[in-house]
Amino acid sequence: MRKPTARGAAFGYACALVTVLWLFLPYGGYERLLEGKYACFALLTAGYLAATLCTDRRELRQARRWTASDAAAAAYLLASALSALCSPYGAQTLLGGTRRDGLVTLALYVLMFTLLSRYLRPDRRLMYLTALSATLCDALVLLQLRGGNPFWLYPAGLNYYDGDAAYAGFYAGPSGNIDFTAFLLALAVCVLTAAMLRLRSWALAPTVALTLWVLARLGVAAAWVGIACAAVWGLALVLPRRWMLLLSAVLTAAALALVLCYRGENQTLIEASLLLRGKADGSFGSGRLAIWRDCWHLVRERPLLGGGPDTLWLRGLEPLAWVHDGSVIPSDITAAHNEYLNILVNQGALALAAYLALLAAALARCFRRAGDVRYALCGVGLLCYAAMAFFSISTCITAPYVWLLLALCNPHEKNEKTLLKNG
């Protein structure tokens, strides 16, 4: 029997990420979602590693160029491992807390990035599978917004509109928390819009329109921040002209001026306007500002190495509270609600510097090679992520797709032609 190729294994794994992992719904509904998603991600990744090891050894031993992104990813993992080694929380840094974002998970991210960047080739089929998953996700969310309980995801007798009443937060879609669902939909709509414009794949237009409508219904502000950032700074990627960067800077300045002068009724824009004028309140951003302030105090305790991967929940932050039937119920803080700050407080400044270097190297490569469709699409997606990360939580539900984008724009072969352009 013919052995699988490393490229075939990489493509199969990428397809599984954008379909199986995204749409996977574990038995037990939303109460077991994160646990189920983590198991799904771990099993898919273990299967990919096993398939790669079974490929032709000569293919695996082929010389590859070492890139700046490889060095940054390795430094990020090394700094995280050093953080875990020096952490006062010992073995709890390996798997982490309830989000399972410990050192083992971080190692899986870096390992999948390293292998995918060497063997995964861009392919239109990935783009259309992403569109299919986004459409199915949209359909599920719309059913839930009509008060339905498909697949019994909510506990018996409850639906979407019981959020922040019978339970903390709002849940919809196959990603659970609407922040995670909106995160993935925003990434998808940015990449698919860029593909639609660069490749003239107008068949993607219905998915893009439907996804934008669903995002409007969910009302997650962070997703719109990401889309706006991708729309403004992605101009130089979708329409690769040098002067587009100047236009992006002008549009950004104009947007900031409009927010600064905003006097309307939208609460998110009101808070942004007050922040730009130096008037901050801990309640801003659904309490995010208070969490950021408390996390910053912890950063000053252990600035270089942090408390250890995914150990914020152990560091004594005062719980947030939500009200149910007149009773105040505390909710533990397990993440900084800002991915950059989360790395800083958990893994320290060394890990954050390496992660930022990885993201910056990928974006710089995308802008330098914007004439290649691969880099245009990945760059737009990474711009969206870079903005959303200021307000989001890293989990195995969302992070694999960021590492997938990073891998796709980190090629290891000279003069490689993109299949998106020719396929």
- Concatenated DSSP letters of 221-262: HHHHHHHHHHHHHTHHHHS--THHHHHHHHHHHHHHHHHHT-
Find, among 115, 84, 368, 69, the residue nearest to 245 by Cα: 368
Task: Give the span between the Cα atoms of 330 and 347, in whole angstroms.
Answer: 26
pLDDT at 151 over 70: yes
- pLDDT (0 to 100) of residue 282: 56
The pLDDT, as a whole number, for residue 421 is 45
Instruction: Show the beta-strand stretches assigned E in 325-386.
Output: 327-331
* Amino acid residing at 422: N
Structural domain that includes position 222 = 6-240+354-422
Residue 66 domain-assigned (yes or no):
yes
Mean pLDDT of 123-151: 97
Look at residue 250 and tell me if it is in a domain: no
pLDDT of residue 90: 93
**Residue that wins the pLDDT comparison between 275 and 192:** 192
Question: Are the CB atoms for 299 and 292 separated by under 8 Å?
Answer: no
Phi, psi (degrees; rounded to nearest 5) at 331:
-125, 120
Measured distance between the N- and C-terminal CA atoms of the chain, rounded to whole angstroms? 28
Selection from 157, 161, 164, 156 nearest residue 172 by Cα: 161
User: In the predicted model, is pLDDT for residue 326 greater than 60?
Assistant: no
Residue 356 CA to residue 309 CA, distance in Å, equals: 17
* Separation between Cα atoms, residue 187 and residue 378, nearest integer Å: 10
Q: Bigger pLDDT: 111 or 413? A: 111
Closest residue by Cα to residue 335 from 320, 325, 351, 324: 320
Residue 325 pLDDT > 60: no
Q: What is the pLDDT of residues 41-100, one digit of tens each?
A: 999 999 999 999 888 777 666 656 788 899 999 999 999 999 999 999 999 999 998 889
Closest CA to 119 of 274, 13, 236, 42: 13
- Residue written as token pair 């939208």: 266
Instruction: Examine the pLDDT at 323 and tell me if it is beyond 90.
Output: no
**Distance between CA atoms of residues 136 and 321, nearest Å:** 34
Confidence (pLDDT) at 415: 40
Amino acid identity of residue 221, one-letter, is: A
Amino acid identity for residue 269 in this structure: L
Q: Note whether residue 292 is domain-resident.
A: no
**Sign of the torsion formed by the C-alpha atoms of 214, 367, 241 and 199:** negative
CA 380 from centre of chain: 13
DSSP single-letter state for residue 19:
I
The answer to whether the CB of 336 falls within 8 A of the CB of 315 is no
Q: What are phi and psi of 149, to 5 degrees?
A: -130, 60
CA distances from 198 to 29, 108, 235, 381, 421 (A): 39, 32, 11, 14, 9
Mean pLDDT of 201-228: 96
Percent of the chain with pLDDT over 90: 72
Better pLDDT: 134 or 98: 134
pLDDT for 386 equals 98
Q: Which residues of 332-367 are buried (b: 16+ CB within 10 A; e: fewer)?
A: ebbbbbbbbbbbbbbbbbbbbbbbebbbebbbebbb
Q: Which two tokens stand for residue 218?
A: 């969910």
219: which 2 tokens? 């009302």
pLDDT of residue 419: 43
Residues 6+ apart with CB under 8 A from 180: 393, 395, 397, 398
Residue with token string 């107008």: 202
Q: Report helix, strand or coil for 26.
A: coil
Q: How many domains does the chain have?
A: 1
In a domain, 219, yes or no: yes
Cβ count within 10 A of residue 403 = 21
**Are the beta carbons of 395 and 34 closer than 8 angstroms?**
yes
Residue type, 347: Q
358: pLDDT strictly greater than 50: yes
Domain for residue 384, yes or no?
yes
Distance (Å, rounded) from C-alpha 186 to C-alpha 176? 15
